[in-house]
Amino acid sequence: MTVLRNHVGGRFVESGRTFDKTSPVDGTTVAVVHEADAVIVDAAVAAARRALNGRWGTSSVADRAALLRRIADGIEARFEDLLAAEVGDTGKPVELARRLDVARAAQNFRSFADTISAKGLDAFLTDTPDGGRALNYAVRKPLGVVAVIVPWNLPLLLLTWKVAPALACGNAVVVKPSEETPSSATVLAEIIAEAGAPDGVFNLVHGFGAGSAGELLTSHAGIDGVTFTGESRTGSAIMKAVAPRVRPVSFELGGKNAALVFDDCDLDRTIEGLSRSVFTNTGQVCLCTERVYVQRGVYDEVVSGLVEAAERLRPGRPEDPAANFGPLISQTHRRKVMSYQALAVEQGAKVVTGGGAPALDGDLAAGAWIEPTLWTGLDNAAAVMREEVFGPVAGIVPFDGEEEAIALANDTEYGLAAAVWTSDLDRGHRVAQRMDVGMAWVNAWYLRDLRSPFGGFGLSGVGREGGEHSLHFYTSPTNVCVGLTGPWSAEEAS
Ligand code: NAD
Protein backbone atom coordinates (compact mmCIF):
# COMPACT_ATOMS: atom_id res chain seq x y z
CA MET A 1 0.00 0.00 0.00
CA THR A 2 1.31 3.44 -0.89
CA VAL A 3 1.97 5.59 2.18
CA LEU A 4 2.03 9.36 1.66
CA ARG A 5 3.89 11.57 4.14
CA ASN A 6 4.24 15.26 4.74
CA HIS A 7 7.37 16.97 3.39
CA VAL A 8 8.88 19.44 5.84
CA GLY A 9 12.26 21.15 5.58
CA GLY A 10 13.50 18.59 3.07
CA ARG A 11 12.38 15.48 4.96
CA PHE A 12 9.34 13.25 4.67
CA VAL A 13 7.59 13.08 8.06
CA GLU A 14 4.80 10.93 9.43
CA SER A 15 2.08 12.00 11.82
CA GLY A 16 0.10 10.20 14.48
CA ARG A 17 -3.03 10.11 12.35
CA THR A 18 -3.72 8.72 8.88
CA PHE A 19 -6.64 8.63 6.50
CA ASP A 20 -7.40 6.43 3.51
CA LYS A 21 -7.63 7.84 0.02
CA THR A 22 -10.04 5.71 -2.01
CA SER A 23 -10.44 5.37 -5.76
CA PRO A 24 -13.55 6.91 -7.33
CA VAL A 25 -13.39 4.19 -10.00
CA ASP A 26 -14.08 1.21 -7.77
CA GLY A 27 -13.85 2.31 -4.13
CA THR A 28 -10.55 0.53 -3.41
CA THR A 29 -7.93 2.17 -1.17
CA VAL A 30 -5.29 3.99 -3.22
CA ALA A 31 -3.08 5.29 -0.43
CA VAL A 32 -2.76 5.80 3.31
CA VAL A 33 -2.06 9.46 4.00
CA HIS A 34 -0.42 11.03 7.05
CA GLU A 35 -2.60 13.95 8.10
CA ALA A 36 -0.56 16.94 9.27
CA ASP A 37 -1.32 18.16 12.79
CA ALA A 38 -0.49 21.55 14.33
CA VAL A 39 3.09 20.47 15.12
CA ILE A 40 3.76 19.51 11.50
CA VAL A 41 2.13 22.66 10.11
CA ASP A 42 4.21 24.78 12.53
CA ALA A 43 7.36 22.95 11.46
CA ALA A 44 6.52 23.46 7.77
CA VAL A 45 5.97 27.21 8.19
CA ALA A 46 9.19 27.48 10.24
CA ALA A 47 11.14 25.55 7.60
CA ALA A 48 9.84 27.89 4.91
CA ARG A 49 10.93 30.91 6.99
CA ARG A 50 14.40 29.43 7.50
CA ALA A 51 14.72 28.90 3.75
CA LEU A 52 13.88 32.56 3.14
CA ASN A 53 16.46 33.62 5.70
CA GLY A 54 19.08 31.36 4.11
CA ARG A 55 20.67 31.27 0.66
CA TRP A 56 17.26 31.04 -1.08
CA GLY A 57 16.53 34.55 0.19
CA THR A 58 19.42 35.98 -1.81
CA SER A 59 19.04 33.78 -4.89
CA SER A 60 19.08 35.57 -8.23
CA VAL A 61 16.34 35.58 -10.82
CA ALA A 62 18.66 33.61 -13.11
CA ASP A 63 19.22 30.93 -10.44
CA ARG A 64 15.52 30.60 -9.81
CA ALA A 65 14.65 30.45 -13.51
CA ALA A 66 17.24 27.69 -13.89
CA LEU A 67 15.69 25.81 -10.95
CA LEU A 68 12.23 26.08 -12.51
CA ARG A 69 13.55 24.65 -15.78
CA ARG A 70 15.17 21.74 -13.92
CA ILE A 71 11.86 21.07 -12.17
CA ALA A 72 10.11 21.04 -15.57
CA ASP A 73 12.72 18.55 -16.81
CA GLY A 74 12.14 16.48 -13.67
CA ILE A 75 8.40 16.44 -14.29
CA GLU A 76 9.03 15.14 -17.79
CA ALA A 77 11.50 12.54 -16.53
CA ARG A 78 8.89 11.26 -14.04
CA PHE A 79 5.92 11.80 -16.33
CA GLU A 80 4.63 8.24 -15.95
CA ASP A 81 4.85 8.36 -12.12
CA LEU A 82 2.90 11.60 -12.04
CA LEU A 83 0.38 10.22 -14.52
CA ALA A 84 -0.18 7.13 -12.37
CA ALA A 85 -0.57 9.30 -9.24
CA GLU A 86 -3.05 11.63 -10.91
CA VAL A 87 -5.11 8.89 -12.53
CA GLY A 88 -5.10 6.75 -9.38
CA ASP A 89 -6.51 9.59 -7.30
CA THR A 90 -9.06 11.01 -9.76
CA GLY A 91 -10.02 8.06 -12.00
CA LYS A 92 -9.87 10.34 -15.04
CA PRO A 93 -9.02 8.79 -18.43
CA VAL A 94 -5.26 8.28 -18.79
CA GLU A 95 -5.22 10.10 -22.11
CA LEU A 96 -6.86 13.20 -20.60
CA ALA A 97 -4.37 13.31 -17.73
CA ARG A 98 -1.48 12.80 -20.16
CA ARG A 99 -2.61 15.59 -22.48
CA LEU A 100 -3.90 18.07 -19.92
CA ASP A 101 -2.78 17.59 -16.32
CA VAL A 102 0.78 16.37 -16.41
CA ALA A 103 1.83 18.13 -19.61
CA ARG A 104 0.64 21.47 -18.20
CA ALA A 105 2.63 20.96 -15.00
CA ALA A 106 5.91 21.11 -16.92
CA GLN A 107 4.61 24.02 -19.02
CA ASN A 108 3.71 25.94 -15.86
CA PHE A 109 7.31 25.84 -14.63
CA ARG A 110 8.78 26.68 -18.07
CA SER A 111 6.32 29.51 -18.62
CA PHE A 112 7.16 31.22 -15.33
CA ALA A 113 10.89 30.64 -15.89
CA ASP A 114 10.42 32.57 -19.15
CA THR A 115 8.28 35.29 -17.57
CA ILE A 116 10.68 35.96 -14.73
CA SER A 117 13.68 35.87 -17.09
CA ALA A 118 12.05 38.36 -19.43
CA LYS A 119 10.73 40.67 -16.75
CA GLY A 120 13.14 40.22 -13.87
CA LEU A 121 11.96 41.80 -10.68
CA ASP A 122 13.51 45.12 -11.61
CA ALA A 123 11.02 45.43 -14.44
CA PHE A 124 8.69 47.09 -11.98
CA LEU A 125 10.68 50.32 -12.00
CA THR A 126 8.34 53.25 -11.68
CA ASP A 127 8.54 56.40 -13.69
CA THR A 128 10.17 59.31 -11.88
CA PRO A 129 7.19 61.56 -11.17
CA ASP A 130 9.20 64.42 -9.71
CA GLY A 131 11.28 65.22 -12.77
CA GLY A 132 14.90 65.78 -11.89
CA ARG A 133 14.38 66.44 -8.19
CA ALA A 134 13.98 62.90 -6.98
CA LEU A 135 14.58 59.46 -8.29
CA ASN A 136 11.78 57.03 -7.49
CA TYR A 137 12.02 53.36 -8.07
CA ALA A 138 10.45 50.26 -6.62
CA VAL A 139 12.22 47.11 -5.57
CA ARG A 140 10.10 44.00 -5.61
CA LYS A 141 10.55 41.56 -2.75
CA PRO A 142 9.10 38.10 -2.36
CA LEU A 143 5.86 38.02 -0.40
CA GLY A 144 7.51 35.54 2.00
CA VAL A 145 5.97 32.29 3.22
CA VAL A 146 3.06 31.55 0.92
CA ALA A 147 0.31 29.06 1.76
CA VAL A 148 -0.87 27.25 -1.38
CA ILE A 149 -4.19 25.42 -1.13
CA VAL A 150 -5.61 23.59 -4.11
CA PRO A 151 -8.58 21.37 -5.08
CA TRP A 152 -8.90 17.90 -6.56
CA ASN A 153 -10.16 18.45 -10.09
CA LEU A 154 -6.84 19.19 -11.85
CA PRO A 155 -4.56 18.59 -8.87
CA LEU A 156 -1.05 18.83 -10.31
CA LEU A 157 -1.94 21.43 -12.94
CA LEU A 158 -3.44 23.79 -10.37
CA LEU A 159 -0.73 23.19 -7.78
CA THR A 160 2.10 23.93 -10.20
CA TRP A 161 0.20 26.95 -11.56
CA LYS A 162 0.80 28.54 -8.13
CA VAL A 163 4.05 26.97 -6.98
CA ALA A 164 5.92 27.92 -10.17
CA PRO A 165 5.34 31.71 -9.94
CA ALA A 166 5.76 31.67 -6.14
CA LEU A 167 9.21 30.10 -6.47
CA ALA A 168 10.08 32.24 -9.51
CA CYS A 169 9.60 35.30 -7.27
CA GLY A 170 11.74 33.88 -4.47
CA ASN A 171 9.04 32.82 -2.01
CA ALA A 172 8.99 29.65 0.08
CA VAL A 173 5.75 27.67 0.03
CA VAL A 174 3.72 25.39 2.26
CA VAL A 175 1.27 23.56 0.04
CA LYS A 176 -1.82 21.60 0.98
CA PRO A 177 -3.31 19.49 -1.80
CA SER A 178 -6.87 18.25 -1.56
CA GLU A 179 -7.48 15.28 0.72
CA GLU A 180 -8.99 13.64 -2.39
CA THR A 181 -5.79 13.98 -4.43
CA PRO A 182 -2.68 13.77 -2.24
CA SER A 183 -0.51 11.63 -4.52
CA SER A 184 0.92 13.83 -7.30
CA ALA A 185 2.00 16.57 -4.86
CA THR A 186 4.09 13.97 -3.05
CA VAL A 187 5.91 13.04 -6.29
CA LEU A 188 6.36 16.76 -7.00
CA ALA A 189 8.04 17.22 -3.59
CA GLU A 190 10.65 14.62 -4.63
CA ILE A 191 11.14 16.25 -8.03
CA ILE A 192 11.64 19.72 -6.55
CA ALA A 193 14.17 18.40 -4.02
CA GLU A 194 16.04 16.48 -6.74
CA ALA A 195 16.11 19.65 -8.88
CA GLY A 196 18.16 21.31 -6.12
CA ALA A 197 15.69 23.54 -4.28
CA PRO A 198 17.10 24.29 -0.82
CA ASP A 199 15.37 22.50 2.05
CA GLY A 200 12.26 24.32 3.20
CA VAL A 201 11.54 26.07 -0.10
CA PHE A 202 8.76 23.58 -0.87
CA ASN A 203 6.88 22.06 2.07
CA LEU A 204 3.89 19.78 1.78
CA VAL A 205 1.22 19.14 4.39
CA HIS A 206 -1.61 16.68 3.90
CA GLY A 207 -5.09 16.82 5.34
CA PHE A 208 -8.56 18.27 5.16
CA GLY A 209 -9.87 21.86 5.34
CA ALA A 210 -11.80 23.04 8.40
CA GLY A 211 -10.34 21.68 11.65
CA SER A 212 -7.39 20.14 9.82
CA ALA A 213 -4.25 21.11 7.90
CA GLY A 214 -6.07 23.64 5.67
CA GLU A 215 -7.38 25.71 8.54
CA LEU A 216 -4.20 25.28 10.59
CA LEU A 217 -2.22 26.68 7.68
CA THR A 218 -4.45 29.59 6.69
CA SER A 219 -4.85 30.75 10.29
CA HIS A 220 -1.11 30.40 11.04
CA ALA A 221 0.59 33.59 12.23
CA GLY A 222 3.72 32.77 10.21
CA ILE A 223 2.29 32.95 6.71
CA ASP A 224 2.56 36.08 4.57
CA GLY A 225 -0.15 35.35 2.01
CA VAL A 226 -2.53 32.70 0.72
CA THR A 227 -3.09 31.59 -2.83
CA PHE A 228 -6.12 29.35 -3.09
CA THR A 229 -8.15 27.54 -5.72
CA GLY A 230 -11.43 25.94 -4.74
CA GLU A 231 -15.02 26.63 -3.85
CA SER A 232 -16.25 30.17 -3.29
CA ARG A 233 -17.50 29.37 0.20
CA THR A 234 -14.06 27.99 1.15
CA GLY A 235 -12.55 31.22 -0.18
CA SER A 236 -14.82 33.09 2.18
CA ALA A 237 -13.71 30.92 5.15
CA ILE A 238 -10.05 31.49 4.25
CA MET A 239 -10.62 35.23 3.96
CA LYS A 240 -11.97 35.19 7.52
CA ALA A 241 -9.01 33.11 8.71
CA VAL A 242 -6.46 35.61 7.39
CA ALA A 243 -8.48 38.73 8.25
CA PRO A 244 -7.11 39.19 11.80
CA ARG A 245 -3.57 39.44 10.38
CA VAL A 246 -4.61 41.21 7.13
CA ARG A 247 -2.69 39.01 4.69
CA PRO A 248 -3.02 39.25 0.90
CA VAL A 249 -5.00 36.54 -0.86
CA SER A 250 -5.32 35.39 -4.44
CA PHE A 251 -8.46 33.35 -5.03
CA GLU A 252 -9.50 31.31 -8.06
CA LEU A 253 -12.99 30.12 -7.14
CA GLY A 254 -16.12 28.55 -8.55
CA GLY A 255 -18.04 29.38 -11.71
CA LYS A 256 -21.45 29.10 -13.32
CA ASN A 257 -20.18 29.63 -16.81
CA ALA A 258 -22.35 30.51 -19.78
CA ALA A 259 -22.03 29.69 -23.45
CA LEU A 260 -23.84 31.95 -25.92
CA VAL A 261 -24.64 30.31 -29.25
CA PHE A 262 -25.80 32.57 -32.09
CA ASP A 263 -27.73 31.54 -35.21
CA ASP A 264 -24.76 32.41 -37.40
CA CYS A 265 -22.28 30.05 -35.69
CA ASP A 266 -20.43 27.22 -37.40
CA LEU A 267 -22.64 24.47 -36.00
CA ASP A 268 -20.22 21.54 -36.17
CA ARG A 269 -17.42 23.51 -34.54
CA THR A 270 -19.80 24.91 -31.94
CA ILE A 271 -21.27 21.57 -30.92
CA GLU A 272 -17.81 20.02 -30.69
CA GLY A 273 -16.55 22.93 -28.55
CA LEU A 274 -19.70 23.06 -26.45
CA SER A 275 -19.65 19.37 -25.66
CA ARG A 276 -16.01 19.59 -24.58
CA SER A 277 -16.88 22.59 -22.43
CA VAL A 278 -19.74 20.77 -20.68
CA PHE A 279 -18.28 17.27 -20.31
CA THR A 280 -14.46 17.49 -20.07
CA ASN A 281 -13.16 15.85 -16.90
CA THR A 282 -16.76 14.81 -16.14
CA GLY A 283 -17.68 18.48 -15.89
CA GLN A 284 -15.21 19.00 -13.08
CA VAL A 285 -13.28 21.94 -14.50
CA CYS A 286 -13.96 25.36 -13.00
CA LEU A 287 -14.26 26.68 -16.58
CA CYS A 288 -16.88 24.12 -17.64
CA THR A 289 -20.11 25.43 -19.15
CA GLU A 290 -23.23 24.74 -17.07
CA ARG A 291 -25.53 27.26 -18.80
CA VAL A 292 -26.04 27.13 -22.58
CA TYR A 293 -28.03 29.97 -24.16
CA VAL A 294 -28.97 29.27 -27.78
CA GLN A 295 -30.53 31.60 -30.34
CA ARG A 296 -33.86 30.18 -31.42
CA GLY A 297 -32.92 29.56 -35.08
CA VAL A 298 -30.39 26.85 -34.13
CA TYR A 299 -31.87 25.76 -30.81
CA ASP A 300 -33.17 22.35 -31.91
CA GLU A 301 -29.97 21.48 -33.76
CA VAL A 302 -27.79 22.46 -30.82
CA VAL A 303 -29.89 20.45 -28.36
CA SER A 304 -29.81 17.35 -30.53
CA GLY A 305 -26.07 17.79 -31.31
CA LEU A 306 -25.23 18.04 -27.62
CA VAL A 307 -27.43 15.06 -26.75
CA GLU A 308 -25.63 12.97 -29.39
CA ALA A 309 -22.25 14.07 -28.03
CA ALA A 310 -23.32 13.17 -24.47
CA GLU A 311 -24.54 9.77 -25.57
CA ARG A 312 -21.22 9.01 -27.28
CA LEU A 313 -19.37 9.29 -23.95
CA ARG A 314 -18.32 5.92 -22.57
CA PRO A 315 -17.61 5.43 -18.87
CA GLY A 316 -14.90 2.97 -17.96
CA ARG A 317 -11.57 2.36 -16.31
CA PRO A 318 -8.98 5.12 -16.93
CA GLU A 319 -6.74 2.79 -18.93
CA ASP A 320 -9.58 1.32 -21.07
CA PRO A 321 -9.01 2.70 -24.61
CA ALA A 322 -12.75 2.39 -25.36
CA ALA A 323 -13.64 4.61 -22.38
CA ASN A 324 -13.51 8.41 -22.50
CA PHE A 325 -15.51 9.43 -19.45
CA GLY A 326 -14.34 9.13 -15.85
CA PRO A 327 -16.25 9.07 -12.57
CA LEU A 328 -16.88 12.02 -10.28
CA ILE A 329 -14.20 12.45 -7.61
CA SER A 330 -16.05 10.79 -4.72
CA GLN A 331 -19.32 9.34 -3.50
CA THR A 332 -19.88 12.54 -1.52
CA HIS A 333 -19.60 14.64 -4.64
CA ARG A 334 -21.80 12.17 -6.53
CA ARG A 335 -24.53 12.57 -3.92
CA LYS A 336 -24.31 16.35 -4.39
CA VAL A 337 -24.61 16.12 -8.19
CA MET A 338 -27.48 13.60 -7.91
CA SER A 339 -29.30 15.95 -5.55
CA TYR A 340 -29.04 18.72 -8.15
CA GLN A 341 -30.42 16.32 -10.77
CA ALA A 342 -33.46 15.73 -8.56
CA LEU A 343 -33.84 19.43 -7.84
CA ALA A 344 -33.73 20.30 -11.55
CA VAL A 345 -36.64 17.94 -12.25
CA GLU A 346 -38.53 19.22 -9.23
CA GLN A 347 -38.16 22.77 -10.58
CA GLY A 348 -39.55 21.83 -14.00
CA ALA A 349 -36.59 20.58 -16.04
CA LYS A 350 -37.09 18.24 -18.95
CA VAL A 351 -34.19 15.76 -18.90
CA VAL A 352 -33.16 15.41 -22.56
CA THR A 353 -30.37 12.95 -21.79
CA GLY A 354 -28.91 11.31 -18.68
CA GLY A 355 -30.38 12.25 -15.34
CA GLY A 356 -29.08 9.37 -13.28
CA ALA A 357 -26.14 7.11 -12.64
CA PRO A 358 -25.06 4.44 -15.14
CA ALA A 359 -25.51 0.83 -14.05
CA LEU A 360 -21.97 -0.51 -14.24
CA ASP A 361 -21.03 -4.10 -13.51
CA GLY A 362 -18.44 -5.76 -11.35
CA ASP A 363 -15.81 -3.66 -9.59
CA LEU A 364 -17.05 -0.44 -11.17
CA ALA A 365 -20.39 -0.73 -9.39
CA ALA A 366 -18.73 0.77 -6.30
CA GLY A 367 -17.43 3.81 -8.22
CA ALA A 368 -18.74 7.39 -8.24
CA TRP A 369 -20.22 7.18 -11.74
CA ILE A 370 -22.76 9.60 -13.13
CA GLU A 371 -24.50 10.13 -16.46
CA PRO A 372 -23.83 13.20 -18.58
CA THR A 373 -27.04 15.17 -18.22
CA LEU A 374 -28.77 17.95 -20.18
CA TRP A 375 -31.85 19.87 -19.12
CA THR A 376 -34.23 22.08 -21.06
CA GLY A 377 -37.31 23.97 -19.91
CA LEU A 378 -35.62 25.90 -17.10
CA ASP A 379 -35.10 29.62 -16.70
CA ASN A 380 -32.44 31.54 -14.80
CA ALA A 381 -34.37 31.32 -11.53
CA ALA A 382 -33.82 27.54 -11.24
CA ALA A 383 -31.24 26.45 -8.67
CA VAL A 384 -29.24 24.50 -11.27
CA MET A 385 -28.99 27.67 -13.37
CA ARG A 386 -27.65 29.68 -10.41
CA GLU A 387 -25.52 27.34 -8.28
CA GLU A 388 -22.34 25.59 -9.35
CA VAL A 389 -23.01 21.84 -9.68
CA PHE A 390 -19.47 20.89 -10.79
CA GLY A 391 -20.58 17.85 -12.76
CA PRO A 392 -21.27 16.87 -16.41
CA VAL A 393 -24.52 18.82 -16.57
CA ALA A 394 -25.96 21.85 -18.32
CA GLY A 395 -29.25 23.65 -18.74
CA ILE A 396 -30.07 24.74 -22.32
CA VAL A 397 -32.21 27.86 -22.74
CA PRO A 398 -33.38 29.59 -25.96
CA PHE A 399 -33.06 33.34 -26.62
CA ASP A 400 -34.05 35.73 -29.40
CA GLY A 401 -31.70 38.74 -29.42
CA GLU A 402 -28.15 39.70 -28.52
CA GLU A 403 -29.06 42.01 -25.62
CA GLU A 404 -31.23 39.30 -24.09
CA ALA A 405 -28.39 36.78 -24.36
CA ILE A 406 -25.92 39.15 -22.69
CA ALA A 407 -28.36 39.85 -19.86
CA LEU A 408 -29.00 36.12 -19.31
CA ALA A 409 -25.29 35.29 -19.25
CA ASN A 410 -24.46 38.10 -16.81
CA ASP A 411 -27.38 37.27 -14.52
CA THR A 412 -25.23 35.37 -11.99
CA GLU A 413 -23.24 35.97 -8.83
CA TYR A 414 -20.28 34.19 -10.42
CA GLY A 415 -18.04 35.58 -13.15
CA LEU A 416 -15.34 33.16 -14.16
CA ALA A 417 -15.62 32.33 -17.86
CA ALA A 418 -17.91 32.58 -20.89
CA ALA A 419 -17.79 31.36 -24.48
CA VAL A 420 -19.41 33.08 -27.45
CA TRP A 421 -20.09 31.01 -30.57
CA THR A 422 -20.67 33.12 -33.71
CA SER A 423 -19.29 33.59 -37.22
CA ASP A 424 -19.76 37.35 -36.98
CA LEU A 425 -16.43 38.68 -35.77
CA ASP A 426 -17.87 42.05 -34.74
CA ARG A 427 -20.46 40.30 -32.63
CA GLY A 428 -17.87 37.99 -31.15
CA HIS A 429 -15.77 40.89 -29.85
CA ARG A 430 -18.78 42.99 -28.91
CA VAL A 431 -20.45 40.28 -26.83
CA ALA A 432 -17.23 38.90 -25.31
CA GLN A 433 -16.26 42.37 -24.08
CA ARG A 434 -19.58 42.70 -22.29
CA MET A 435 -19.28 39.43 -20.40
CA ASP A 436 -18.65 40.14 -16.69
CA VAL A 437 -16.09 37.36 -16.42
CA GLY A 438 -12.35 36.89 -16.10
CA MET A 439 -12.00 34.92 -19.35
CA ALA A 440 -14.29 35.29 -22.38
CA TRP A 441 -13.64 33.01 -25.34
CA VAL A 442 -14.90 33.50 -28.89
CA ASN A 443 -15.31 30.25 -30.84
CA ALA A 444 -13.04 28.48 -28.35
CA TRP A 445 -13.02 27.09 -24.86
CA TYR A 446 -10.14 26.53 -22.43
CA LEU A 447 -7.64 27.84 -24.95
CA ARG A 448 -4.95 29.29 -22.70
CA ASP A 449 -1.89 31.44 -23.10
CA LEU A 450 -0.28 31.20 -19.67
CA ARG A 451 0.83 34.83 -19.82
CA SER A 452 -2.73 36.15 -19.98
CA PRO A 453 -4.69 37.12 -16.86
CA PHE A 454 -6.69 34.36 -15.17
CA GLY A 455 -9.28 34.86 -12.43
CA GLY A 456 -12.87 35.84 -11.88
CA PHE A 457 -15.46 38.48 -11.03
CA GLY A 458 -17.84 38.27 -8.06
CA LEU A 459 -17.99 34.89 -6.34
CA SER A 460 -15.41 33.57 -8.82
CA GLY A 461 -12.36 35.08 -7.21
CA VAL A 462 -10.07 37.83 -6.04
CA GLY A 463 -7.14 39.02 -8.12
CA ARG A 464 -5.57 37.67 -11.28
CA GLU A 465 -2.74 35.23 -11.87
CA GLY A 466 -0.90 34.37 -15.09
CA GLY A 467 2.38 35.74 -16.48
CA GLU A 468 3.19 39.16 -15.08
CA HIS A 469 -0.09 39.21 -13.08
CA SER A 470 1.30 36.39 -10.95
CA LEU A 471 4.56 38.26 -10.41
CA HIS A 472 2.52 41.10 -8.94
CA PHE A 473 0.76 38.86 -6.42
CA TYR A 474 3.86 36.94 -5.34
CA THR A 475 5.93 40.08 -4.65
CA SER A 476 5.58 43.27 -2.63
CA PRO A 477 7.13 46.55 -3.77
CA THR A 478 9.18 48.96 -1.70
CA ASN A 479 9.31 52.43 -3.22
CA VAL A 480 12.71 54.03 -2.80
CA CYS A 481 12.75 57.79 -3.26
CA VAL A 482 16.18 59.38 -3.55
CA GLY A 483 16.11 63.15 -3.05
CA LEU A 484 18.49 64.92 -5.40
CA THR A 485 20.22 68.10 -4.31
CA GLY A 486 20.07 71.03 -6.64
CA PRO A 487 19.61 74.74 -6.81
CA TRP A 488 15.90 74.51 -5.92
CA SER A 489 14.15 77.60 -4.65
CA ALA A 490 14.38 78.20 -0.87
CA GLU A 491 10.62 77.71 -0.55
CA GLU A 492 10.64 74.28 -2.17
CA ALA A 493 13.70 73.15 -0.27
CA SER A 494 12.12 73.76 3.13
P1 NAD B 1 -12.90 23.02 -1.79
O2 NAD B 1 -13.00 24.49 -1.61
O3 NAD B 1 -13.82 22.14 -1.07
O4 NAD B 1 -11.42 22.53 -1.39
C5 NAD B 1 -10.27 23.11 -1.97
C6 NAD B 1 -9.12 22.98 -0.99
O7 NAD B 1 -9.39 23.78 0.15
C8 NAD B 1 -8.87 21.57 -0.49
O9 NAD B 1 -7.49 21.36 -0.39
C10 NAD B 1 -9.54 21.59 0.87
O11 NAD B 1 -9.02 20.65 1.78
C12 NAD B 1 -9.24 23.01 1.32
N13 NAD B 1 -10.15 23.54 2.33
C14 NAD B 1 -11.46 23.28 2.48
N15 NAD B 1 -11.96 24.00 3.52
C16 NAD B 1 -10.95 24.74 4.02
C17 NAD B 1 -10.82 25.67 5.08
N18 NAD B 1 -11.86 26.00 5.85
N19 NAD B 1 -9.62 26.24 5.30
C20 NAD B 1 -8.55 25.95 4.53
N21 NAD B 1 -8.60 25.05 3.51
C22 NAD B 1 -9.78 24.46 3.26
O23 NAD B 1 -12.97 22.78 -3.36
P24 NAD B 1 -12.95 21.39 -4.13
O25 NAD B 1 -14.25 20.71 -3.94
O26 NAD B 1 -11.70 20.68 -3.79
O27 NAD B 1 -12.81 21.89 -5.65
C28 NAD B 1 -13.87 22.24 -6.46
C29 NAD B 1 -14.06 23.72 -6.50
O30 NAD B 1 -12.88 24.37 -6.96
C31 NAD B 1 -15.16 24.17 -7.45
O32 NAD B 1 -15.90 25.18 -6.85
C33 NAD B 1 -14.39 24.72 -8.64
O34 NAD B 1 -15.07 25.64 -9.44
C35 NAD B 1 -13.22 25.33 -7.96
N36 NAD B 1 -12.11 25.53 -8.89
C37 NAD B 1 -11.79 26.80 -9.31
C38 NAD B 1 -10.77 27.00 -10.23
C39 NAD B 1 -10.39 28.37 -10.74
O40 NAD B 1 -9.32 28.51 -11.30
N41 NAD B 1 -11.22 29.38 -10.56
C42 NAD B 1 -10.05 25.90 -10.71
C43 NAD B 1 -10.40 24.64 -10.25
C44 NAD B 1 -11.42 24.45 -9.34
Burial of 478 (0-12, 13-18, 19+ CB in 10 A): exposed
pLDDT of residue 118: 87
Q: 3-class SS at 489?
A: coil
- Model pLDDT, residue 120: 74
Q: Is 290 in the pocket of ligand 1 (CB under 6 A)?
A: no
- Please state, for a pLDDT cut of 90, what percent of the chain lies above it: 91
Percent of the chain with pLDDT over 70: 96
- Mean pLDDT for 3-25 is 98
Nearest to 271, CA basis, from 261, 282, 280? 261
Three-state SS annotation for 264-315: CCCHHHHHHHHHHHHHHHHHCCCCCEEEEEEEHHHHHHHHHHHHHHHHHCCE
Ligand 1 site, residue 176, Cβ cutoff 6 A: yes
What is the structure's pLDDT at 490? 61
Rounded Cα–Cα distance for residues 152 and 86 (Å): 10
pLDDT, residue 124, reads 55
**Is the beta carbon of 254 within 6 A of some atom in ligand 1?**
yes
Residue 51 makes CB contacts below 8 A (sequence gap 6+) with 57, 172, 198, 199, 200, 201
Helix axes 402-410, 425-433, angle to 10 degrees: 30
CATH class of 2-253+460-480: alpha beta
* pTM: predicted TM-score of the whole model, two decimal places: 0.96
Whether the per-residue pLDDT at 399 is higher than 60: the answer is: yes
Q: Which of 169, 265, 286, 288 is catalytic?
A: 286
Q: What is the rounded average pLDDT for all residues in the chain?
A: 95
Q: Whose CA is nearest to atom 16 of ligand 1?
A: 209
Q: Report d(CA 476, CA 121) in Å as an integer.
A: 10
Chain center to CA of 104: 12
Q: Where is 104: in which H helix or E strand?
A: helix 103-119
C-alpha dist (Å) from residue 164 to 11, 170, 470:
21, 10, 10
Give the Å distance between the CA of 231 and the centre of ligand 1: 4
- Count of positions (residues) in the chain: 494
Q: Please check the confidence at residue 17 and state whether its pLDDT lies above 60.
A: yes
List Cα–Cα distances, 276 to 282, 302, 313, 371, in angstroms. 10, 14, 11, 15
Domain boundaries, the chain: 2-253+460-480, 257-442
Residues 6+ apart with CB under 8 A from 314: 322, 323, 324, 325
Query: Residue 252 has what pLDDT?
Result: 98
Q: Please, what's the b/e burial string for 158-167 (b: 16 or more CB within 10 A of its CB; e: otherwise)? A: bbbbbbbbbb
State pLDDT tens for residues 274-328.
999 999 999 999 999 999 999 999 999 999 999 999 999 999 999 999 999 999 9
State the distance from the centre of ligand 1 to the C-alpha of 210, rounded, in angstroms.
12
- Residue in 19, 156, 286 to alter for ligand 1 test, most ligand atoms within 8 A of Cβ: 286
147 lines ligand 1 (CB under 6 A): no
The whole-number pLDDT of residue 250 equals 98
Q: In the prediction, which pLDDT does 131 show?
A: 65
Residue 493: pLDDT over 60: no
- What is the distance in angstroms between the CA of the first residue and the CA of the last residue of the chain? 75
Does 393 have pLDDT greater than 60?
yes
Residue among 149, 219, 228, 329 to mutate when testing ligand 1 (max atoms within 8 A of CB): 149
Sequence letter at residue 134: A
Q: Where are the alpha helices (DSSP H) in 169-296?
A: 183-194, 213-218, 232-242, 267-279
186: confidence class by pLDDT, cuts 50, 70, 90: very high
The burial of 99, by beta-carbon neighbours within 10 Å (0-12 exposed, 13-18 middle, 19 or more buried), is given as exposed
Task: Say what the pLDDT of residue 134 is.
Answer: 81
Q: Is the pLDDT of residue 125 over 70?
A: no
The answer, yes or no, to whether any atom of ligand 1 lies below 6 A from the CB of 178, is yes
Torsion over CA: 233, 280, 180, 450 (sign): negative
Does pLDDT of 482 surpass 90? no
The DSSP bridge pattern shows strands 249-252 and 461-462 to be antiparallel
- Tens of pLDDT, residue by residue over 437-474, are 999 999 999 999 999 999 999 999 999 999 999 999 99
3-state class (DSSP) for residue 418: strand
Distances (CA, A) of 127 to 115, 118, 223, 485, 486: 21, 19, 32, 19, 20
DSSP state letter for 377: S
pLDDT at 55: 96
Dist CA 388 CA 265 (whole Å)? 27
Q: Tell me: the pLDDT tens digits for 151-172?
A: 999 999 999 999 999 999 999 9
The pLDDT tens digits of the residues spanning 245-259 come to 999 999 999 999 999
Structure confidence by residue, pLDDT tens digits, 356-387 = 999 888 999 999 999 999 999 999 999 999 99
- Compute, in angstroms, the gap from residue 152 CA to the centroid of ligand 1: 8
Catalytic site includes residue 286 = yes
Q: Which amino acid is at 271?
A: I
What dotted CATH number matches 257-442? 3.40.309.10
Q: Does the beta carbon of 255 sit less than 6 angstroms from any atom of ligand 1? A: yes
For residue 223, the model assigns a pLDDT of: 98
Question: CA separation (Å) from 76 to 81, 280, 326?
Answer: 10, 24, 24
Which residue is catalytic, options 86, 179, 215, 252?
252
The answer to whether 20 and 29 have CB atoms below 8 angstroms apart is yes
288 counts as catalytic: no
Among 389, 371, 395, 374, which Cα is nearest to 314's? 371
- For ligand 1, whether the C-beta of 218 sits within 6 Å is yes
pLDDT band (50, 70, 90) for residue 483 = confident
